[in-house]
Structure 1
Amino acid sequence: MSIQKQEATQSWSGLGVGTDRRSFLDAVTAQLPEFEAERAAEAVFCGLSELLSEGLMRQLREQLPEDLRGLLADGCPRHAVGPRGKVDRDDFYLQVANHLNAEPENVRRVLHGVFAALHGQVTEAEARKVEGQLPRWLQGTWAAARLGVDRPS
């Protein structure tokens, strides 16, 4: 039997129980100090809702702490709810940038920061499911955020 060391901001057990809203937003802020953490997370989650199946979005939400689940709603309230079409890279980046009111060239860094914080909330199995549903052009950013490498500047 091993003893797990838990820190105040990294209490994730690997069982998908997450930490809490404050520690998640603190993790986003640490990655993206120039952005409001909640808005950055909402913009990225909104974008993800256009790329991932409803079932996977529901599974992701269920792994988050209850006080964080509201940020990962079914569909994005800023965009029309309807059939999900194929979203290309430029449209996706522009959508996240517009949602956040940021420059499109900053979106990859925002994605990386929110993805890194999100990885601390979900199980490895769930992270692999997400990666499998992401388009190839976004899989690298998701994987790099999990490994803590390739942090865009």
Structure 2
Amino acid sequence: MSIQKQETTQSWSGLGVGTDRKSFMDAVSAQLPDFEAEQAAEAVFRGLSELLSDGLMRQLREQLPEDLRGLVDACPRHPDGVRGKVDRDDFYLQVANHLNAEPENVRLVLHGVFAALREQVTEQEADKIESQLPRWLQGTWSAARIGIDRPS
């Protein structure tokens, strides 16, 4: 009879329990080695705050580890009626400007942060997010599921 060493893995409950800021940022870094993970996450969260309702942003925040929620809290809030009015070019430019990156790299950044974010939220929450995203961003959100190749 052999004794197997059990590796420690982080649990996931869909409520941020068992995960932390470091594991989230490590997941982003693994996807985006050429970008600073914290800046990439902040840029994407700011962009999402322009597109998603306040209620959904609150739900998203609650599913993140406590030490990561500050990134969502730091997102500027906009008066009712402004949210969702950002078009694709403005959205990509906003994220690119936040990162001092070329706009053509934004889809890669979105994919990397979305992949890490999808690991933090329940499938039900992921479906809610996808339903509120504009059509031009829904494909990137869907493609960020584990196992889907990232854009080059």
For the criterion TM > 0.5, the same-fold answer is: yes
Q: Unaligned regions of 5+ residues in structure 1, if any?
A: none
Measured after TM superposition, the shift of residue 75 of structure 1 is 3.4
- % identical equivalent positions: 75
Separation of aligned partners in 2, 1:130 and 1:145: 13
Per-residue CA deviation, residues 103-132 of structure 1 (Å, 9 max, x unaligned), is 000000000000000011111100000000
Corresponding position of 1:22: 22
Is the CA contact 1:116–1:148 (under 8 Å) kept in the aligned structure 2?
A: no
Separation of aligned partners in 1, 2:74 and 2:135: 23
Q: Unaligned regions of 5+ residues in structure 2, if any?
A: 1-5
Measured after TM superposition, the shift of residue 93 of structure 1 is 0.2
Corresponding position of 2:47: 47
Q: TM-score, normalised by structure 2?
A: 0.87
Corresponding position of 2:132: 133
Is the CA contact 1:40–1:100 (under 8 Å) kept in the aligned structure 2?
A: yes
Q: TM-score, normalised by structure 1?
A: 0.86
The 5-angstrom pairing of residues 1-153 of structure 1 reads: 8=9, 10-13=10-13, 15-17=14-16, 19-73=19-73, 75-76=75-76, 81-83=78-80, 84-85=82-83, 86-153=85-152
Is the CA contact 2:28–2:37 (under 8 Å) kept in the aligned structure 1?
A: yes
Query: Highest CA radius of gyration, 1 or 2?
Result: 2
Q: How many correspondences in the alignment?
A: 144
Measured after TM superposition, the shift of residue 73 of structure 1 is 1.8
Per-residue CA deviation, residues 2-47 of structure 1 (Å, 9 max, x unaligned), is xxx9854x5323x333511000000000000110000000000000
